[in-house]
Structure 1
Amino acid sequence: MAEEAKAKGNAAFSAGRFEEAIRFFSEAIDLAPTNHVLYSNRSAAYASLQRYSDALADAKKTVDLKPDWSKGYSRLGAAHLGLGNFEDAITTYKKGLELDPSNDALKSGLADAQAAAARSRGGPQASSPFENIFQGPDVWAKLTADPATRGYLQQPDFLKMLQDVQRNPNNINKYFSDPRMMQVLGVLLNVKLRTTTPEEMERDVPGMDSELKRQAEPEQKTRKEPEPEPEPMDIPDEEKEVRERKAEAQREKEAGNAAYKKKDFETAIQHYTKAIELDDEDISFITNRAAVYMEMGKYEDCIKDCDKAVDRGRELRSDFKMIAKALTRKGTALVKLAKCSKDYEPAIEAFQKALTEHRNPDTLKKLNDAQKAKKDLEQQEYFDPQIADEEREKGNEFFKQQKYPEAVRHYTEALRRNPQDPRVYSNRAACYTKLGALPEGLKDAEKCIELDPAFSKGYTRKGAVQFFMKEYDKALETYQEGLKHDPNNQELLDGVRRCVEQINKTNRGDISPEDLKERQAKAMHDPEIQNILSDPIMRQVLIDFQENPKAAQDHLKNPQVMHKIQKLVSAGIVQLR
């Protein structure tokens, strides 16, 4: 909505309706208070009305928000110049030129400020009668506002001509043969000049000063009985009616926006509905009404309006961003209505369609939130502990029959029905171990321990997986941790015994070189082992074990060092003789 207000402000400014432009720019600033362009535009509008104090305040805000934007200094310099702060204007324009040395507007403004400062100090002054006409910050605003001269400002040769006259008003005599300069003079003098043909201008150049004075007199003085302007005949009545209806529709929309801000939703609906009736080629009226229905909790009405906006927008080939906005709004309303997981499906579809029109971060977040909410609801709806127990028992029967893939399938279904049962994770971990899927088995065993740290089966499953992966030191730690919760558990005690036997074999060198090499390679990928070996203190300890036995004995008295040595020995990295 801030962009819409800004666009209206720009249109009003271009048409010379500066008060209206200020109103729209102010509305946009309320919606987007950190947008530096809006303050810059409003500053220009204030300057066009010679309200230079207001223009100065907005220009300062522009520079504060965007200190590296040269146009902000152009606005600030113009405001200082209008207030007669010539030295401040000069300083400001120079700052802007430091950022953008080739900026013509800043160069022209600096020349104006320097000339004004020279005049204020009693310096040399131009003698041209047109000096004051081309000076001042409102020259560009006047030429931009007038339809007859607006297009000239897009022509590089004309811009050079105008800037030359601004720097030295005496040079205007060089450009009297150009009809564009005559048109500009008329606009700046607020009079209607007679436009001569190129042939007439060529003949009249030597005496142009007196001719200009004659032409510059208000036209009504040369007429005894002014005749009324004839009504334009080139616009059909039906086209005029369409334009009037569109203008009226925009006024209704603005009234609706004002009511919406005040939370007077019923009044806002009335204005938007009237706007839709007056102009059915602007889908923003429909999407705005949909937004009001959303605020009122009338989600079905909101969805209907969004569908209408999408269909009409496609017919009219409207901006894809507007269609995306309507689809996003529809998805939001559908989420509000969702009662079960299936209800999220049309909302997700609406968000996905919106993203194909325009990839908006807000829409993407809404899509992700809807997908997560759907998944959570699906889990809640599927939750059934009784069926989970039945599936677990089926899995146990297949496990006994050594049909491990079938057992995994039933255990997985049991977890879908009740994902918080540690027994099922333990049972499935055992299946994965039998199938040789050790990483999956380890993951399930760890989840089992996470859900119930006192459940000894979780430790036996995890220790068994680590043992089969030949990570005997880790398996030993797992079994020992389990014994803290269940000291007399025979499976855990047997696991400790097996791990100690394997570690002792390694220390005695009773394992094959291939097995030792494999264990060492695995250990070197263990972050804990890597940290031990990269520790400078531990590196010195290992050197002392080889070169200084007495120092090595002292190191073993340190419990932390001893623990790390044991880790290296268990991993097969260090062998004690």
Structure 2
Amino acid sequence: MTVMATLMGIDMDGPPPGDFGAAPEVPTQKQEPTPAPQSKKEPVPEPEDVEMEEPEDTSKEDADKLKAEGNTLYKQRKFDEAIAKYTQAWETHKDITYLNNRSAAEFEKGDFETAIKTCNLAIDEGRDMRADYKLIAKAFARLGNIYLKQDDLNEAVKYFDKSLTEHRTPEVLNKLRSTQKEIKIKEIQSYVNPEKAEEARLEGKEYFTKGDWPNAVKAYSEMIKRAPEDARGYSNRAAALAKLMSFPDAVQDCNKAIEKDPSFVRAYIRKANAQLAMKEYAQVMETLNVAREKDTELGSKNVNEIDQLYNKASSQRFQNIEGETPEQTMERVSRDPEVVQILQDPVMQGILQQARDNPAALTDHMRNPEVSKKINMLIAAGVIRTR
């Protein structure tokens, strides 16, 4: 039976087939063979880390030597030789400083097209190798200088601005501002046209006659642009501005007209009228005194108008305030700086003392223009009373 069971694969010692309620067989743990004792071996030492010496990179030093040689040649104005040295330095070691130097030599040589290419190469290479912003800014600034030399002002402004974006320096900022100013000057000069200016003047005169002050100002402004050296444009615009009650602007235009033509009497008169409207009496009289001098040199054609305006300013300056007593008026007048200065003048004190004893002597002193001016001031202020 044992032989038959073995042939049929039946375990005679196990549970009978179909006996599912029997406990599962627990497999016996196999014992691993005990390793045979081994003889002790000495540990094998780890190989030592041997530092391999790399050859030093001398390309930078060599390139700097070439750059120094190029700088010496540059100072000697041997630009072709300097360019060769800078090129060799760039080929030895990639540093855009050498390209910037090469572009400087090309610029001084007058080879602007090549210098532009070198600057652009320096910018592109500098971007790729993440060069210092200051070096890239120098390349942009040199491009600006090149275009400025070629009188291409708009391109010069463009590259000066790019240089400042990379790195801001006072030198490049000043060049940018001066170039922008030059552009404006050229635009103004290109707009100058005497024929168009005369058309604008006549148009402004027509608007002024109709009482259309805003359009008159506009037309006279166009005249000024077309003929910036013609004093009439500023004086005419001042007259229109005064009608619009814009007295400070009118005074400013009159000053501009006087600057263009110091003998333009009409500009002085219009300035005095604007100052009178602003109750700047001392300034009115000062302006009219200058106007009188200029008018005398030209034949005294406007003397009556100047005198009338002067008297008007004088009377308004020292006129009695409603409800003010004569004593209060004199007290107020005595605080006027110009009146005080005249009364403290030793010469005027002597003249006034002489006039008290001999009133006719005052007429003789009035022949002196400077003394006449001061006496008229005192008369207007009520310090000297005439009958």
Asked if Structure 1 and Structure 2 have the same fold, meaning a TM-score greater than 0.5 normalized by the shorter chain, the answer is: yes
Over residues 422-480 of structure 1, what are the superposed CA-to-partner deviations in whole Å (9 max), with x where a residue is unaligned?
Answer: 22122111111111111221222233233234444323323332333342523542542
Percent sequence identity over aligned pairs = 33
Over residues 356-405 of structure 1, what are the superposed CA-to-partner deviations in whole Å (9 max), with x where a residue is unaligned?
Answer: 44443332332333223222222222221112222222222221221111
Question: Which residue matches 2:34?
Answer: none
Question: Which residue matches 1:318?
Answer: 131
CA distance in 1: counterparts of 2:291 and 2:193, whole angstroms: 33
Amino acid corresponding to residue 160 of structure 2 in structure 1: F
CA distance in 1: counterparts of 2:81 and 2:245, whole angstroms: 70
Picking from 220, 233, 250, the partner of 2:64 is 250
CA distance in 2: counterparts of 1:373 and 1:434, whole angstroms: 35
Once the 2 structures are TM-superposed, how far is the Cα of residue 492 of structure 1 from its aligned partner? 4.7
Map 1:489-504; keep pairs closer than 5 Å. 489=301, 492-504=303-315
Task: Indicate whether 1:396 and 2:177 are aligned.
Answer: no
**Structure 1 487/429 Cα, relative in aligned 2: closer, same or farther at 3 Å?**
same
Picking from 260, 282, 299, the partner of 1:451 is 260
Once the 2 structures are TM-superposed, how far is the Cα of residue 337 of structure 1 from its aligned partner? 0.9
Amino acid corresponding to residue 373 of structure 1 in structure 2: E
Question: Which residue matches 1:77?
Answer: none
Greater RCO structure (CA 8 Å; 6+ sep): 2
CA distance in 1: counterparts of 2:340 and 2:111, whole angstroms: 66
Amino acid corresponding to residue 538 of structure 1 in structure 2: D
CA distance in 1: counterparts of 2:162 and 2:97, whole angstroms: 19
Using the size of structure 2 for normalisation, the TM-score is 0.69
Question: Which residue matches 2:278?
Answer: 469
Question: Which residue matches 2:147?
Answer: 334
CA distance in 1: counterparts of 2:218 and 2:240, whole angstroms: 10
**Structure 1 448/396 Cα, relative in aligned 2: closer, same or farther at 3 Å?**
same
Question: Which residue matches 1:233?
Answer: 52
Once the 2 structures are TM-superposed, how far is the Cα of residue 295 of structure 1 from its aligned partner? 0.3
Amino acid corresponding to residue 190 of structure 2 in structure 1: E
Question: Which residue matches 1:211?
Answer: none
Once the 2 structures are TM-superposed, how far is the Cα of residue 273 of structure 1 from its aligned partner? 1.6
Question: Which residue matches 1:287?
Answer: 100
Map 1:562-577; keep pairs closer than 5 Å. 562=371, 565-566=374-375, 569=378, 572=381, 575-577=383-385
Contact in 2 for aligned 1:503/1:570 (Cα 8 Å): no
Task: Indicate whether 1:480 and 2:292 are aligned.
Answer: yes
CA distance in 1: counterparts of 2:317 and 2:116, whole angstroms: 71
Once the 2 structures are TM-superposed, how far is the Cα of residue 335 of structure 1 from its aligned partner? 0.6
CA distance in 2: counterparts of 1:269 and 1:301, whole angstroms: 11
Once the 2 structures are TM-superposed, how far is the Cα of residue 290 of structure 1 from its aligned partner? 0.9
CA distance in 1: counterparts of 2:342 and 2:164, whole angstroms: 51
Once the 2 structures are TM-superposed, how far is the Cα of residue 350 of structure 1 from its aligned partner? 2.5
**Structure 1 346/521 Cα, relative in aligned 2: closer, same or farther at 3 Å?**
farther
Contact in 2 for aligned 1:335/1:344 (Cα 8 Å): yes
**Structure 1 370/439 Cα, relative in aligned 2: closer, same or farther at 3 Å?**
same
Instruction: Report the 3-state secondary structure (helix = DSSP H, G, I; strand = E; otherwise coil) of the residue aligned with 2:258.
Output: helix
Amino acid corresponding to residue 219 of structure 2 in structure 1: H
Question: Which residue matches 2:29?
Answer: none
Amino acid corresponding to residue 74 of structure 2 in structure 1: Y
Amino acid corresponding to residue 384 of structure 2 in structure 1: L
**Structure 1 267/483 Cα, relative in aligned 2: closer, same or farther at 3 Å?**
closer
Contact in 2 for aligned 1:260/1:292 (Cα 8 Å): yes
Contact in 2 for aligned 1:505/1:511 (Cα 8 Å): no
Once the 2 structures are TM-superposed, how far is the Cα of residue 522 of structure 1 from its aligned partner? 12
Question: Which residue matches 1:275?
Answer: 89
CA distance in 2: counterparts of 1:286 and 1:379, whole angstroms: 39
Instruction: Decide which structure has greater helix share.
Output: 1
Using the size of structure 1 for normalisation, the TM-score is 0.48
Question: Which residue matches 1:417?
Answer: 226
Contact in 1 for aligned 2:285/2:313 (Cα 8 Å): no
Question: Which residue matches 1:309?
Answer: 122
Amino acid corresponding to residue 149 of structure 2 in structure 1: K
Unaligned runs of 5+ in 2: 1-49
CA distance in 2: counterparts of 1:275 and 1:467, whole angstroms: 75
**Structure 1 565/460 Cα, relative in aligned 2: closer, same or farther at 3 Å?**
closer
Over residues 39-65 of structure 1, what are the superposed CA-to-partner deviations in whole Å (9 max), with x where a residue is unaligned?
Answer: xxxxxxxxxxxxxxxxxxxxxxxxxxx
Amino acid corresponding to residue 499 of structure 1 in structure 2: Y
Instruction: Report the 3-state secondary structure (helix = DSSP H, G, I; strand = E; otherwise coil) of the residue aligned with 2:211.
Output: coil
Picking from 169, 175, 184, the partner of 1:375 is 184
Unaligned runs of 5+ in 1: 1-230
Once the 2 structures are TM-superposed, how far is the Cα of residue 279 of structure 1 from its aligned partner? 2.2
**Structure 1 258/233 Cα, relative in aligned 2: closer, same or farther at 3 Å?**
same
CA distance in 2: counterparts of 1:521 and 1:337, whole angstroms: 66
Q: How many residues align?
A: 325
Over residues 308-353 of structure 1, what are the superposed CA-to-partner deviations in whole Å (9 max), with x where a residue is unaligned?
Answer: 3234334434333323322222211111011xxxx31231232233
Map 1:116-131; keep pairs closer than 5 Å. none
Amino acid corresponding to residue 177 of structure 2 in structure 1: N
